[in-house]
Amino acid sequence: MAVFTEVSEDAAQTLLQRLSLGQLTGLRGIEGGIENTNYFLSTDKGEWVLTLFERLSAEQLPFYLYLMKHLAHKGIPVPDPQADHESGDILHQVCGKPAAIVQKLAGKSQLAPAAVHCEAVGAMLARMHLAGRDYERSQPNLRGLPWWNETVPVVLPYLQEAQSTLLRAELAYQNHVAASSSYAALPRGPVHADLFRDNVMFDGERLTGFFDFYFAGVDTFLFDLAVCLNDWCVDLPTGRHDAPRAQAMLAAYQAVRPLTAAERTLLPAMARAGALRFWISRLWDFHLPREASMLKPHDPGHFERVLRERIAHPLHMDA
Ligand SMILES: Nc1ncnc2c1ncn2[C@@H]1O[C@H](COP(=O)(O)OP(=O)(O)O)[C@@H](O)[C@H]1O
Ligand SMILES: N[C@@H](CCOP(=O)(O)O)C(=O)O
């Protein structure tokens, strides 16, 4: 985490009362995460996660919170935002910041996944894509191509020549892909867009939940799948592709939602897009950091390596 905003026991209890979630027995800032302030709250009625949104506005947040509600009601294991028992609102205010409370999911992150975990993520991701198709709200992926185009010039001054050359060339390539007819043919809908190992819970080999929907948006399903392949199915020290894990994820995804011809064609390009997206955001977080306690910026070098790998060894369906 990070704690950007300190929450007092009094402030937490006031909110719990409005939501009828019980008497506060414990309040602890969460380590891990880089975007928002997160606390674990224990009460006599259960375990909860309180999130104070540090960047997202009250106008942007209903998309994420109602998406979680929509998916939870369709049986996808995601946290269901808790409502004020009088007004029914699921977006709250704590310490002057927009805030939400969700159930704490059971299980723990699987940070060294095997093929069986990748299979579970692939199948649930496809189920989630199908379940989201009739979600009526719409908001773009706020970390999509327009944001990359805006942010690359901001981070370029911090880079070495070879890195600048790569970043510029990849951005140009992705703008070219996004203008193509194959890209226009890609199926789209609400996607998670940040479903990394630390945003999924497992109990042994059983997937118990997806969380952290605050980078979600309407984008291509293929981009979401590529983000997962890039995190779950790579060797972390080198950024190299792990074929058995990738095949397990792709087969399980396709058993629920087979990929279209356009998706098969653009998988190598979207694998590069997924790497570029997180290289840019990590560069931005690293070189232009925000003030917070417990904030550990992620290593941008990792996604530079993944991108170079994806260019040198394109990720095809049978790779
Ligand atoms: N609903 C939840 N259930 C259980 N743990 C959670 C839940 N939401 C967040 N966490 C814990 O909090 C950590 C940080 O949350 P995350 O949403 O990734 O933060 P950020 O919004 O800053 O990226 C996670 O790694 C996880 O340990
Ligand atoms: N997953 C991203 C950053 C977002 O952090 P999270 O803790 O909110 O998932 C990365 O690894 O760069």
Per-residue pLDDT of the chain (319 residues; tens, 9 = 90+): 467 899 999 999 999 999 999 999 999 999 876 789 999 999 999 999 999 999 899 999 999 999 999 999 999 999 999 999 999 999 999 999 999 999 999 999 999 999 999 999 999 999 999 999 999 999 999 999 999 999 999 999 999 999 999 999 999 999 999 999 999 999 999 999 999 999 999 999 999 999 999 999 999 999 999 999 999 999 999 999 999 999 999 999 999 999 999 999 999 999 999 999 999 999 999 998 876 555 578 999 999 999 999 999 999 887 6
CA–centroid distance, residue 296 to ligand 1 (Å): 14
Partners of residue 65 on adjacent β-strands: none
CA–centroid distance, residue 33 to ligand 2 (Å): 6
CA–centroid distance, residue 32 to ligand 2 (Å): 9
What is the number of the ligand closest to the CA of 79? 1
Which pLDDT does position 159 carry in this prediction? Answer: 98
CA–centroid distance, residue 152 to ligand 2 (Å): 18
Domain 9-103 adopts which CATH fold?
Answer: Phosphorylase Kinase; domain 1 (3.30.200)
- The atom number, within ligand 2, closest to the CA of 285 reads 12
Which CATH number describes the domain made up of 115-312? 3.90.1200.10
**Which of 5, 102, 212 most suits a substitution to test ligand 1, by most atoms within 8 Å of the C-beta?**
212
Which pLDDT does position 4 carry in this prediction? Answer: 87
DSSP 71-86: HHHTT-----PPPPTT
Hey, how many other C-beta atoms are within 10 angstroms of the C-beta on 31?
A: 12
CA–centroid distance, residue 38 to ligand 1 (Å): 7
What ipTM was reported for this prediction?
0.91
Hey, how many other C-beta atoms are within 10 angstroms of the C-beta on 159?
A: 18
Partners of residue 51 on adjacent β-strands: 38, 100
Taking CA atoms only, the protein residue closest to ligand 2 atom 8 is: 33
- Residues having CB closer than 6 A to ligand 2 are 33-35, 194, 196, 198-199, 212, 278, 281-282, 298
Which pLDDT does position 295 carry in this prediction? Answer: 59
The closest alpha carbon to 267, from 209, 208, 219, 227, belongs to: 227
Which pLDDT does position 1 carry in this prediction? Answer: 46
Q: Which residue has the tokens 């890195």?
A: 163
Domain extent listing, the chain? 9-103, 115-312
- The atom number, within ligand 1, closest to the CA of 34 reads 22
Asked whether 1 lines ligand 1 (CB < 6 A), one says yes
What's phi and psi for 94, nearest 5 deg? -135, 130
Instruction: Let me know: does 288 contact 156? Beta carbons within 8 Å.
Output: no
Question: Rounded distance, CA 235 to CA 60, Å?
Answer: 35
What is the number of the ligand closest to the CA of 55? 1
Instruction: Let me know: does 206 contact 120? Beta carbons within 8 Å.
Output: yes
**Which of 37, 38, 147, 196 most suits a substitution to test ligand 2, by most atoms within 8 Å of the C-beta?**
196
How far apart, in Å, are the Cα atoms of 193 and each of 10, 22, 143, 213, 230?
A: 35, 33, 9, 8, 12
Which pLDDT does position 51 carry in this prediction? Answer: 95
Q: Which pTM was predicted?
A: 0.94
Instruction: Let me know: does 210 contact 78? Beta carbons within 8 Å.
Output: yes
Question: Rounded distance, CA 188 to CA 218, Å?
Answer: 7
What element of type H or E holds 266? helix 261-287
Which pLDDT does position 317 carry in this prediction? Answer: 86
What's phi and psi for 207, nearest 5 deg? -75, 125
Instruction: Let me know: does 116 contact 56? Beta carbons within 8 Å.
Output: no
What is the number of the ligand closest to the CA of 40? 1
